[in-house]
Structures are given as structure tokens and as C-alpha cells.
Structure 1
Amino acid sequence: MNKRLISLSFSLRSSVQLHRPPLYHSISILFYSSSKPKRSKFNSVSKDGRSKSTPKVAVAEYLINQHQFSPEAALKASSSYAFLKNTAETDSVLSFLKESGFSKTQLEEVVKRIPSILRANLDTTIKPKIKIFQDSGFSDSDIADVISSDPWILWQSADNRLGPAILALKNILGSNAGVLKVLKLCGWYLKYDLEKTVIPNIEVLKSLGISSSQIVKYICHFPRFYLHTQENIMDFVRRVDEMGFDRKSKLFLSAIRTISSMSLETWEMKVKLFQSLGFSEKDVLVAFRRAPQVFCISEKKIKEATEMLLSSGKADIAFIVSHPELLICSVDHRLKPRLQVMENLEKKNLLRKIPSLTTICKYTDQKFAERFVIPYANELEV
């Protein structure tokens, strides 16, 4: 028991002798308290009454020894959290993810990208998110694939974000297979309120006459495009319209998406590049209307491919404007080697009919080899 001394001092002034100095009396009161010292949340008390801290565990050592993490993954995780105080909670989280279908590689990826999962609460943070996917009909392996691609999904609200987003995607894409394809490519889609972003943009595109099948295809290939604001989408449409693009063209959506992928300054730089290579402003617009995706490739590649085609003698500016998709071909792996093969075959008069440049470049590697390499293997070696 602790003995506490409280001194209470007070004065008693005589009500009768008003003119005499006040009389002060000091009274000391001793009392005993039965309260005990409180224990710290993270401390224990030894037999001699001294508190001692709960031993901390080094994260890297723990992950390597207890969960067979690679040294690289363990060190990466420990760069954010050097020690753990409650390994039991961490064990429960990692064991649950293993039992839920996460491979060793996937588990390491999750921990490397969000080390805070080592301190997560299994029941309130992890399980509700896994259950949302399970209730939506996804297999354990599918869930592991999606979450390991973007572990921050586990930090989203199960009821307010994940559930509504999965349902919205399923309504758009029509099946879990479609949803899975999108989420494996961009699990971060689940971080957004799709009812306020993707859905309104889809309605805008439908109002422009773009088919649902094309819209769905672009969600799978260019998911970021649908996260633009409606104002931005309409601005992209306006710019494409000003270039004389036909809204009924199957390439209309491709044109909008292409414009959305670059700033106005980048677009102007690419136009100037084409002009420096000999294209007129009209040529540039015609090429864009025929193959909008060409303008998504780098300026370096545009320059190298154009110069390669012009120097080959097989194409001029007018030909490239008519077939701008040729600029997408790899210079080193398609244009140059195929033009060399065709040049050798022509010199030796081995071809009855010389195919067009577009035909040569459109063939797959296997098809090209079957048509122009294997039948003339001996002649080409000489």
C-alpha cells in the first residue's frame, strides 16, 4: 500500500475578534490508498516490481525463419517495419492468405508492396475483402491473382468500394471471366467509384454511336481511358471531330483514346516531327484518320521507321500516308530483316510475283518464314 501525505492548510478567522490578527491552524491528514500501479499495455512486471518491455522480433528474421520468405522479400518488407511486437497476429494473417490460395511468390509480393499487412487485423481488414470476392463467385486462385497484382485492394472498404465495383464491372462485362480479365490487368480499378467514373463515360460513348462490344473491348485493353472525367472525354471528342474524323468510323473510339493518351503539347510535337520528315499537315491528318494508334508510338520509333521505309525505295510519303500502320512495325525485328530477305530474293529472280510491302509486313514470323525463307533456304545462304 502507498502512503500519501496530504497537507491541508486553512485559516480560521475569529468572527468575534475582528481586529486581531487572523488565527491560522495547519492540519495534516494522513490517509492510505489501496490503488496499485497500472501496467503498461506493452509492458509486463517482473517479480521485483520492475516493468519490462515485450521482446520485439526482427521482421526480416521472422519472415525468413517462420514463413520461408526469400531474403530479398524479407529485407524489402523490413525496410518499412524493422520489428514486430505481435507475431501471433501476423502469423494469423499470413497463414490465412496461404490457406486462401496465395502462393509463396504471391504472398511475398503482397508483403513487399504493403508491409503494413504484417500489422493488419485478420478479422476486420483481411477476411471481409476475401469474402467479397468469394461471394462474387471467384475461385481462390483468381482472388490470389487479383489481390497480388494490386495488394492495396485489401485496404478498400468491402461494402462501400469492392462490392459495388465488382458488381458494376460484372454488369458491364457480362461475366466473371470478363471482370477477371480486367482486374488481372488493373486491380486498381477497384479503388475507384465506378458508378461515378466508368459508368457515366460508357453512357457518353454509347450516345456517340459507339457499340457496346467495342466499349467492352477497350475496357479490357485501355482501362485507364474510362477514368477520365466526362468533361475530358467530351473535349477529346471535340478535338477528334475538328480533325475531320467520321463518327461512324470503327476507328472513332481509337482516335478518342489516342488523343486522351497525350497532352496537346505532345500531339503538336509529333505533328512537327512528321512535317520534318516530309509530311504535310494534311498528310498527318489523313494518316491519323487511317491509323490513330500510330500516334501513340514514340517519336524515336516514328522517325526510325519512316526513314527506313523511305531509304528502302519501297515506299514514299504518299505510300506511308496510305499505310501508316507500317510505322508500328519494329525496325530491327520486322522491317529491316524482311526487306533484306525480299531484296535478296528479287536480285536472284526467285519470286514469280513480288508481294506488296504491306503484305510482307503483316505476315506473322511463322507465315513469313514459310513463304519466303524456308523454300529458299539454300539460295539465301549463298
Structure 2
Amino acid sequence: MNSCGLSPKTAISASKRVNFKTLEKPDSVLNFFKNHGLSKTQISDLIRKESELLLYDPNKTLLPKFDFFYSTGISRTDLAKVVSNCPSILRRSLKNQIILSFNLLKNLFHSDDKFMAAFKRFPGIILFDHSAITFPNIEILRQHGVPDLSIVHLLTNQPRSLMMLKPDRFNEVVEDVKKMGLNPSTLQFVRAVYALTSMSKSTLKRKMEVYEKWG
């Protein structure tokens, strides 16, 4: 409550996930975040979501990840926003998850700038299993005649639409969009794919019923 600005209720919840006898390590973690440009509000948000980070060794565990992110060209201000919005990325393996995902996704985007824009918008993009979900879903789009430019557009603006659904369900969505009569070669097609991946079948049905009532 005193160091992170958490409410009593939130502090109680967070304290159930950590256990330390002295303040040396958690204080060093908080100082690390302050020194890397995180505001009090951002630190509060980060600890509220991932209080286990207070048990980390800043120099051994956190610094290498920050150094890697800086090496990609991201600014201190943007990185502060990224880690406060999605602190779970700091709990993932630098070598086996973060760097691997960065390299895979940069190749998909064909542009470092487009990839970085998508990453800053949705940091969780690097946490998905791309081999099992993202790549198969991209291949489904290609098999249905969607050009790479449209796929990159979808990756850049709505990356979660390619990463949230397993291939079987994603293929159903693409088939549904085709049944609507949309041309796979147009941007409207991937925008419709995004719309359908962002809601359940029951939600889509209710929305369609509302539009039908309006004529």
C-alpha cells in the first residue's frame, strides 16, 4: 500500500501471491522500474497485475529483458506503457519466448515499423503459440485466396484475430465470411474476419437480429 499505491483490497489480493521477509528485494524491483521511467501509476498497475515480479532479481531477470526491448528501438516511454499494460511479458523466458516471438513476427510483418506498431498496441502478441495457431491461421487465409498485403494489414491492425482462435474454429469463421459474399482479395474480407473473430456465434446472432429489426 505504501510503496505501490495499492488499495487495501488490492494489496490483500496481491500479498497472497508473494512472500518476503525483508524489503530489500521488492524495493530493488520498485527502484528498477522507477529508474526505467515508469510512473507511480504505471508501477501500481504493474504490481497489481503481477505482484510476483517483486520477488525477481532486477539485474539478472529484468534488466536483460529491458535491454533487449531497447535494442529493438522502442523508447523508454513506450516500453513503460508496454510493461505496465502487459506485465506478464516480464515473466516469460527472454530466449525461448520473447526473442523467438520477435524474430518470427518480424518476418511475418515484412516491416520492423509495422511489427513495432502492432506490438505497442497489443504487447501480448509475443505471448502466443505462433507455430500452433498464428501460422496455421495465416495459411488458411492464403488457401482461401487472401493476399499477403491483406494478411499484413490484419496483423498490423488487429493481430489478436489471428491468434485467439484455434485453426479449426478460425477456418469456420473464414468460411462464414465467404458465404456472406465478400471477395477474399479485398481488405473488406479480412475486416469481416476480424469482426467475426471478436465475438461468439450467439453474440453475432443477437446483433444480426437487431439489424434485421431495423430493416
Q: With structure 1 as the length reference, what TM-score do the two structures score?
A: 0.49
Contact 1:161 1:193 in 2 (8 A): no
1:25-174 alignment runs, 5 A limit: 60-61=1-2, 63=3, 69-70=4-5, 72=6, 76-81=10-15, 84-174=20-110
The structural deviation recorded for 1:77 is 3.5
The structural deviation recorded for 1:237 is 2.0
1:210 aligns to 2:146 (yes or no): yes
**Higher gyration radius (CA):** 1
Cα distance in 2 between the residues matched to 1:172 and 1:84: 43
Contact 1:73 1:112 in 2 (8 A): no
1:232 aligns to 2:173 (yes or no): no
Q: Which runs of 5+ in 1 are unaligned?
A: 1-59, 64-68, 280-382
Cα distance in 1 between the residues matched to 2:41 and 2:111: 28
Residues paired across the two proteins, number: 212
1:253 aligns to 2:190 (yes or no): yes
Q: Which amino acid aligns with 1:138?
A: I
Cα distance in 1 between the residues matched to 2:9 and 2:206: 44
After superposition, the C-alpha distances for 1:186-215 in whole angstroms (9 at most, x for unaligned) are: 212222122332233223323333233332
User: Could you say what secondary structure the match of 1:270 adopts?
Assistant: helix
Q: Which runs of 5+ in 2 are unaligned?
A: none
Contact 2:82 2:123 in 1 (8 A): yes
Cα distance in 2 between the residues matched to 1:117 and 1:249: 45
Cα separation, partners in 2 of 1:263 and 1:103, compared to 1, 3 Å? closer
Task: Report the counterpart of residue 314 of structure 1 in structure 2.
Answer: none
User: What is the CA RMSD across the aligned residues, in angstroms?
Assistant: 2.6
Contact 1:236 1:259 in 2 (8 A): yes
Q: With structure 2 as the length reference, what TM-score do the two structures score?
A: 0.82
Contact 2:53 2:91 in 1 (8 A): no
Contact 1:245 1:252 in 2 (8 A): yes
Q: Aligned match of 2:179 in 228, 242, 254?
A: 242
Q: Which amino acid aligns with 1:115?
A: S
Greater than 4 Å deviation, 4+ residue runs? 72-75
Cα separation, partners in 2 of 1:179 and 1:98, compared to 1, 3 Å? farther
Q: Which amino acid aligns with 1:231?
A: D
Moved more, 195-204 or 185-194: 195-204
User: Could you say what secondary structure the match of 2:14 adopts?
Assistant: coil
Cα distance in 2 between the residues matched to 1:248 and 1:119: 50
Q: Which amino acid aligns with 1:195?
A: S
Report which of the two has the higher share of helix: 2
1:187 aligns to 2:123 (yes or no): yes
Report which of the two has the higher share of strand: 1
User: Could you say what secondary structure the match of 1:80 adopts?
Assistant: helix
Q: Which amino acid aligns with 1:76?
A: T
After superposition, the C-alpha distances for 1:326-360 in whole angstroms (9 at most, x for unaligned) are: xxxxxxxxxxxxxxxxxxxxxxxxxxxxxxxxxxx
Cα distance in 2 between the residues matched to 1:272 and 1:75: 42
The structural deviation recorded for 1:160 is 0.8
Cα distance in 1 between the residues matched to 2:24 and 2:40: 19
Contact 1:132 1:162 in 2 (8 A): no
Task: Report the counterpart of residue 196 of structure 1 in structure 2.
Answer: 132
